[in-house]
Chains A and B, each alone.
Chain A
Amino acid sequence: LAKTTQPISMDSYEGQEVNITCSHNNIATNDYITWYQQFPSQGPRFIIQGYKTKVTNEVASLFIPADRKSSTLSLPRVSLSDTAVYYCLVLSGGYNKLIFGAGTRLAVHP
């Protein structure tokens, strides 16, 4: 499983766009990039998943460059409720054994 590296913490303010970048230099050809969000005392929640280029849903966008060695989760116009830990994971296609890294603790301020 490819190892991921992401910032330990980030601060932002309400209404700003937040970009969290994750490095996964050893990503394999069949691997997907997945992001999860976790609030305190809750289980993680799936945010977005992608393989290459750009993926967008109602919550976030995921940008993946051509070499796929990194990815950026973009949260548009964050609010206080987006304060959470965000985990970047790389998983092999069809395999759900998720190994979590340290994650990025995002704090959104008024």
Chain B
Amino acid sequence: GAVVSQHPSWVICKSGTSVKIECRSLDFQATTMFWYRQFPKQSLMLMATSNEGSKATYEQGVEKDKFLINHASLTLSTLTVTSAHPEDSSFYICSAEYGTGDTEAFFGQGTRLTVV
């Protein structure tokens, strides 16, 4: 199947700093990528839909100025957590749409963010 890679796998940052997480589709082009957040023992929560060349669409309750999403190419979307605080510590996961009309999503391995 198609491969989606996230970088870094884990990151520790100080409170108040910003952290960028990359999501790459390695062997296919993804016009649409999705970003999720997952707290321990909870399900994935969709944060935003990232479309190549246009602004991301954020889910209700997700602060777009705090979670900056950029989808500058067909193989790369980035999520920047700005002015991170301990409550932003979570597992962030991206997924990519393989092709138009395809209904199988491919997920990255996730990024564990710890804000201290």
Q: Which of A's residues lie within 8 Å of B, judged by CB?
A: 32, 34, 41-46, 49, 87, 91, 93-103
Cα-based distance from A100 to B34 in the complex (angstroms): 13
Interface residues of B in 1-53 (CB under 8 A from A): 1, 4, 6, 32, 34, 36, 43-46, 49
Mark contacts of B35-77 with chain A using CB atoms, 8 A cut-off: 1 yes-contact digit, 0 otherwise. Answer: 0100000011110010000000000000000000000000000
- Contacts of B46 on A, CB cut-off 8 Å? 97-100
Cα-based distance from A91 to B105 in the complex (angstroms): 11
Interface of A is mostly: loop
B110's contact among A42, A46, A98, by CB below 8 Å, is which?
Answer: A42
Closest B residue to A89 using CB positions: B105
Closest B residue to A99 using CB positions: B46
Whether the pair B93, A97 counts as a contact (CB closer than 8 A) is no
Distance between A84 CB and nearest chain B CB, rounded to angstroms: 13
Instruction: Report which residue of B46, B102, B103, B105 has the largest number of chain A beta carbons within 10 angstroms of its beta carbon.
Output: B103
Cα-based distance from A46 to B101 in the complex (angstroms): 16
- Contacts of B102 on A, CB cut-off 8 Å? 94, 96
Whether the pair A46, B97 counts as a contact (CB closer than 8 A) is no
Distance between A49 CB and nearest chain B CB, rounded to angstroms: 6
